[in-house]
């Protein structure tokens, strides 16, 4: 019988929850800092990695914003995105839907254009040279005001051909989805898909708000939805996808032990859960490693591996035809490896 991890690793898959600034490996961070002549308050790559010890989401975010501050030029954003694509190519990721945080850059004087042009160029190269298709999601920082998010949407207007959706990230507690009702409605009018981090640290009420007040197409994390049976039922019946990030949950103390991670429970409940890496440079693993971390603690079946690979495409923003083609390919490849969903 094929091992579920080997199967998952070999199957084509999509990654639906990835902050490009969270894929910033310390080695590249030091290299870019050197060429931009900016200093990092750590003496070495090792010392920086040692600082990646977080008690909660905010501890991480403080370091994450500090890390991205060395990104100044278009080339920096290109190198960051290209490094991510070449790395996930090794995990057989064939489609990515990545977030970027424009306000994390514009707030410190780097233009929206600089960030998006560099990221877009690398994504196009990834498609041409690695065969990885993509969608780009611009995320609003929820610790900032809705006015700031609306300004960001204005800045995005010349680039709407390159942007597929909008998201909501950063400090969840105290910044519920309802705070961003207007900007999400405006984003929807422009034809953008809507997603939001909800239920990562925040209560089930925030997940309800993501569904009711901003009408998301997909929920990022959603772990705490499991505390409310009615909410679980609504997510299952609504066919919403959850972009689950196991190593992130462990590193940010949403779970204290992988043995308690809710992914197997989510699958059992019929939720369309997917496995993702969130901020792999900070949390210690890319997508296959995230699967392995859960599987090592709570063995998943070969059928679970196939389901998770299929969910990653079903939950994507690809067209129905593209999804059908990937699902067929996964079935074929799984059958060749002796597994079915």
Active centre residues (catalytic): 200
Instruction: State in angstroms the smallest separation of the CB of 181 from Zn ion.
Output: 21
Report in angstroms the alpha-carbon separations of 28 from 99, 217, 263: 19, 34, 32
What residues from 159 to 188 belong to the interface with ligand ADE (CB under 6 A)?
A: 169-170
Q: Per rule CB under 6 A, is residue 278 in the interface with ligand ADE?
A: yes
Which of ligand ADE, Zn ion, none interacts with 57 (beta carbon under 5 to 8 A by kind)?
ligand ADE
- Choose one: 7-15, 42-50, 105-113, 275-283; the region binding Zn ion (CB under 5 A): 275-283
Instruction: State in angstroms the smallest separation of the CB of 197 from ligand ADE.
Output: 5
DSSP for 1-67, written as a single string: ---HHHHHHHS-EEEEEEEGGGG--HHHHHHHHHHHT---SSSSHHHHHHT---SSHHHHHHHHHHH
Q: Per rule CB under 5 A, is residue 97 in the interface with Zn ion?
A: no
Query: Which residue, 19 or 95, is less far from ligand ADE as judged by CB?
Result: 19
Size of site (CB under 5 A) for Zn ion: 1
Q: Per rule CB under 6 A, is residue 251 in the interface with ligand ADE?
A: no
* 51 phi, psi to nearest 5 deg: -75, -10
DSSP for 69-99, written as a single string: TT--SHHHHHHHHHHHHHHHHTTTEEEEEEE
Report in angstroms the alpha-carbon separations of 309 from 2, 191, 197, 302: 15, 27, 21, 11
Q: Per rule CB under 5 A, is residue 278 in the interface with Zn ion?
A: yes
Query: Which residue, 197 or 218, is less far from ligand ADE as judged by CB?
Result: 197
Q: Which residue shows structure tokens 């909410």?
A: 231
Query: Which residue, 5 or 84, is less far from ligand ADE as judged by CB?
Result: 84
Query: Which residue, 79 or 278, is less far from Zn ion as judged by CB?
Result: 278
Report in angstroms the alpha-carbon separations of 26 from 2, 29, 169: 35, 5, 22
In whole angstroms, what is the distance from residue 243 CA to residue 240 CA?
Answer: 10
Q: Per rule CB under 6 A, is residue 19 in the interface with ligand ADE?
A: yes
Q: Per rule CB under 6 A, is residue 249 in the interface with ligand ADE?
A: no
What residues from 26 to 85 belong to the interface with ligand ADE (CB under 6 A)?
A: 57, 64
Q: Per rule CB under 5 A, is residue 21 in the interface with Zn ion?
A: no
Query: Which residue, 20 or 132, is less far from ligand ADE as judged by CB?
Result: 20
In whole angstroms, what is the distance from residue 233 CA to residue 41 CA?
Answer: 47
In whole angstroms, what is the distance from residue 266 CA to residue 285 CA?
Answer: 21
Residues found near ligand ADE in the complex (CB under 6 A): 19, 22, 57, 64, 169-170, 197, 200, 248, 278-279
């Amino acid at each position: 019988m094929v091992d579920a991890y080997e199967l998952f690793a070999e199957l084509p898959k999509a990654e639906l929850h990835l902050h490009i600034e969270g894929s910033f490996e310390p080695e590249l961070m030091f290299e870019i800092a050197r060429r931009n002549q900016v200093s990092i308050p750590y003496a070495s790559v090792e010392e920086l990695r040692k600082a990646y010890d977080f008690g909660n989401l905010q501890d991480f975010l403080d370091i994450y914003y500090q890390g991205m501050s060395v990104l100044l030029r278009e080339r920096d954003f290109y190198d960051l995105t290209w490094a991510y694509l070449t790395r996930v190519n090794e995990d057989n990721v064939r489609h990515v839907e990545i977030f970027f945080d424009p306000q994390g850059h514009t707030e410190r004087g780097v233009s929206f254009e600089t960030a998006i042009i560099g990221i877009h160029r690398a994504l196009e190269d990834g498609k041409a040279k690695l065969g990885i298709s993509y969608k780009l999601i611009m995320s609003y920082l929820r610790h900032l005001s809705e006015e700031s998010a609306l300004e960001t949407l204005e800045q995005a207007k010349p680039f709407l051909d390159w942007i597929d959706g909008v998201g909501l990230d950063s400090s969840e507690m105290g910044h519920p989805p309802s705070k961003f009702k207007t900007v999400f409605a405006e984003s929807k009018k422009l034809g953008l898909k809507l997603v939001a981090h909800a239920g990562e640290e925040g209560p089930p009420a925030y997940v309800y708000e993501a569904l009711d007040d901003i009408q998301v197409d997909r929920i990022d994390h959603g772990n705490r939805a499991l505390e409310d049976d009615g909410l679980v039922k609504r997510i299952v019946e609504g066919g919403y996808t959850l972009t689950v990030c196991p190593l992130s949950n462990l590193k940010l103390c949403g779970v204290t032990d992988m043995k308690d991670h809710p992914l197997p429970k989510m699958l059992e409940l019929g939720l369309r859960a997917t496995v993702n890496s969130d901020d792999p440079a900070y949390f210690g693993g890319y997508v296959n490693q995230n699967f392995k971390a859960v599987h090592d603690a709570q063995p998943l079946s070969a059928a679970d591996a196939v389901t998770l690979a299929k969910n990653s495409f079903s939950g994507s923003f690809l067209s129905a035809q593209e999804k059908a083609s990937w699902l067929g390919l996964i079935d074929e490849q799984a059958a060749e490896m002796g597994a079915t969903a």
